Structure 1
Amino acid sequence: MATAITDTPLRRLRRLPWRQALCLVPLGAVAVWVALHWPVIADGARRLLTADRYWLLAAVAVTGLGWVAVSFARQGAVLERLPAGRLLATQFAAGAANHVLPSGLGAGAVNLRFLRGCGLPPARSSAALALYLLAEAAGRVLLLLALLAGFPHALRLGGLVDGGAGARIAATAGLVALALALTVFVVPPLRRLVLGFLRTALADARSVHRRPARVLALWGGSLAFPALQAAGLVAVSAALDLPVPMAHVAVAYLAASVLAAAIPAPGGIGSVDAALVVALVTAGAPVTGATSAVLAYRIITVWLPLLPGALVLGALVRWKVV
């Protein structure tokens, strides 16, 4: 006679499909993140209550347009036509993942899964991600240089980092690059893997740049995304009556984001915040005003979309989009 096995909660948990379990991971990560940053969130929310609502709505609008710009850039990095609705939803969800893992790893992982689901092989998916990252970084630097050319006194870049610290950062980056290059050179399997990836990436980049529509999407989106991010900070600064010209605020944002990109913090949280405050102060803002503007900007661009983004990410995982 067979012995009846009690259906315990642990056994029911083991039978839970792994994709349904994964849907709960983004929500748990958001809950932990919000709990750790709650004093900052509450302080920023109080400051937003006294800000100009129309400028805040403008900041929300350009934040939403930023996901559209990223979608265009992602489409421009591949030859195949991607499903527009799922592509936009993936970028919104990737924003939530990006604020959990450092250095853009969350967004990169989500987009790699999305491209694989669209039928691209691993090598081409990775090549598309690398091309997008290169174009986005180049677009950010080009915008910064263009604004500095038009407003050369907008920012004292030396205020962001002193010469000694800058030299140490450059030397560290050079040593890391040299160590990676030597590792690739002396390990044959790794060398073959890297050379194969480079061949695929270069071939895809040449193919993409032979199609004007893809070039426009890739570089237009890569320039529009940081421009919209800077416009969001400009709108928040205007909402809080920050006594700094709008162009100077945009320069401060681009300079701070370029500098903070080298610091591996989740979503740039902490590194970008500190750099933004310093950049706004060097542009002429008082310390309290700069801090308020950065807190309000973070609420609009990070904290408000975080929970909806996590819900969308969970849904995309469940529907096997990513």
Structure 2
Amino acid sequence: MTPEQFLPAPQRRRAYWHAALTLVVLTAVVCLARRHWPVLETGAVRLAVADQGWLLVAALATLATWPCSALAQQGAVPRGLPPGRLVAGLFAASTANHILPAGLGAGGVTLRLLIRCGIPLADAATAVLVKGTAGALVRGALIAVLFAACPGMLHLPHLGGELLLVICVSAVGATALLAGPLSRRCRRVLAAVRVYVGVVHARPARAAALWGGSLAFVTLHCVVLITVTRAVALPLPPARVALLYLAASTVAALLPTPGGLGSLDAVLALALTAAGAPASAAASAVLGYRLLTVWLPLLPGLAVLAVLVRRGAL
């Protein structure tokens, strides 16, 4: 069973359009990588001789992100869920997120997991939406707090022609996907979400799990990048690294590549370089962060996904 089979038919059709736009974005990213290949190669060498202690801390922080994600998802569901299956399912969902664009993989696997746990389809879809919305709000709040606490720390970099082209193409594609008679459907969805959110927040433990788990998840990803920058001796303050990561990941989320592949790498490297980091050190930090959060968990995540499917948990 492939990750696409977890999605309803309308989402599968939308996934094809996302995939086409993903191909355009990835093509532009490959062109950028070829153009800056010497910097990437130097960054990989620098990462190979990085401080192992800091990399170990980054790896431990990465491992903690999945229980935090599970905690946030439990907070978005009024009834109790099996903790072990929930953590395993979200670990597998993160792997599927690197296969399908714009979070469709993670959303589809999580939706299937909640349905298998006895949650009705409408409630399961709303729970996934509530968790994603809480994460986005937490991310925005952290950006505002860091920006207010450290004014002048975030500067808009000069955008090259390639990146501007990617952003324009993505914006046009997103507008085309959202065009049409969606307003009435969106109003119905928002009304259902408001009722559901009221039910969740009527239970303080669930609300604390939702917001606390979302905050911990985002914070841990900041910690992963900060510790990797320490490992490669990148000369930037931790608060600035955290703010740059939050801003870059928010921008990259607008580009529908699987798991931010290519888009997050390019935007984050550009942000670190614009903040004063040497290009090789920025490349090393981005490579280390993606190695820990994407490439090393990929094969174990696929194995967990296969086991869950075989056992009927998905």
Cα distance in 1 for residues equivalent to 2:126 and 2:258: 23
Distance 2:41 2:300 in 1: 19
Identity of aligned residues (%): 47
Q: How high is the TM-score relative to the length of structure 1?
A: 0.79
Instruction: Tell me if the contact between 1:160 and 1:279 (Cα under 8 Å) persists in the aligned partners.
Output: no
Once the two structures are superposed, residues 28-51 of structure 1 have per-residue CA deviations (whole angstroms, 9 ceiling, x without a partner) of: xxxxxxxx99x9999876543311
What SS does the corresponding residue of 1:183 show, helix, strand or coil? coil
Alignment root-mean-square deviation, CA: 3.1
Per the TM alignment, residue 158 of structure 1 is displaced from its structure 2 partner at its CA by 4.4
1:223 is displaced (CA, Å) by: 1.3
Contact 2:43 2:280 in 1 (8 A): no
Match of 1:95 in 2: 94
Cα offset, 1:297, TM superposition: 1.1
**In structure 1, distance between residues paired with 2:180 and 2:108:** 27
Please give the alpha-carbon distance, in whole angstroms, between the structure 1 residues aligned to 2:93 and 2:54: 26
Which stretches in structure 1 are left out of the alignment for 5+ residues?
1-17, 23-35, 186-190
> Structure 2: which 5+ runs fail to align?
6-29
Q: In the comparison of the two structures, how many residue pairs are matched?
A: 280
Distance in 2 separating the partners of 1:223 and 1:83: 22
Give the direction of change, closer, same or farther, for the CA distance of 1:106–1:43 in structure 2 (3 Å limit).
Answer: farther
Q: Report the structure number with the largest CA radius of gyration.
A: 1
Give the alignment of 1:264-283 within 5 angstroms: 264-283=256-275
TM-score (normalised: structure 2): 0.80
- Could you tell me which residue of structure 2 aligns to residue 151 of structure 1? 150
- Aligned counterpart, 1:199: 191
Q: Does 1:218 align with 2:216?
A: no
Counterpart code for 1:296: G
Out of 224, 228, 237, the residue aligned to residue 236 of structure 1 is 228
Determine the structure 2 residue equivalent to 1:251: 243
Matched position secondary structure for 2:255? coil
1:252 maps to amino acid: L
Residues 283-321 of structure 1, C-alpha deviations (whole Å, 9 max, x = no match): 220111101110111111111000001100100010111
Counterparts of residues 1-322 of structure 1 (less than 5 Å):
46-159=45-158, 172=171, 176=175, 180=178, 182-184=180-182, 191=184, 196-322=188-314
Aligned-pair CA distance for 1:157? 2.7
Residues 52 and 231, structure 2, Cα contact 8 Å, conserved in 1: yes
Deviation at residue 150 of structure 1 after TM alignment: 1.2
| Deviation for aligned residue 1:245 | 1.1
Q: Give the conservation status (yes or no) of the 8 Å contact 2:40–2:280.
A: no
Give CA deviations for 1:143-198 in whole Å, capped at 9, x if unaligned: 11111111122221344699xx69x86x9589939x8475135xxxxx4x655543
Which deviates further from its counterpart, 42-51 or 282-291? Answer: 42-51
Q: Deviations over 1:49-95 (max 9, x none)?
A: 31111100110011111111111110010101010000011111111
In the alignment, the residues of structure 2 paired with residue 161 and residue 229 of structure 1 have an alpha-carbon distance, to the nearest angstrom, of 27
Query: Displacement of 1:117 after TM fit?
Result: 0.3
Runs (4+) off by over 3 Å: 39-48, 158-162, 171-175, 179-182, 193-199
Give the residue type in structure 2 aligned to 1:319.
R
Alignment-mate amino acid for residue 227 of structure 2: A
C-alpha separation in 1, matches of 2:43 and 2:236 = 20
Question: Aligned partners of 2:229, 2:254: CA distance in 1, in Å?
Answer: 25
Residues 145 and 174 (structure 1), Cα distance of their counterparts in 2 relative to 1, 3 Å cut:
farther
Partner secondary structure for residue 256 of structure 2 = coil
Do 1:101 and 1:266's aligned partners in 2 also have CA atoms closer than 8 Å? yes
Distance 2:90 2:270 in 1: 29
Q: For residues 254-289 of structure 1, what are the alpha-carbon distances to aligned partners after superposition, in whole Å with 9 as ceiling and x for unaligned?
A: 110011111000000100001100111122201111
**Cα distance 1:98–1:275, how it changes in 2: closer, same or farther (>3 A)?**
same
Aligned-partner Cα distance in 2 for 1:159–1:224: 32
Do the aligned residues in 2 keep the contact of 1:45 with 1:299 (CA within 8 Å)? no
Task: Tell me, in whole angstroms, the C-alpha distance in 2 between the residues paired with 1:265 and 1:181.
Answer: 20
8 Å CA contact 1:71, 1:91 repeated in 2: yes
Contact 1:47 1:296 in 2 (8 A): no
In structure 1, the residue matched to 2:11 is: none
Aligned partner letter, 1:303: W
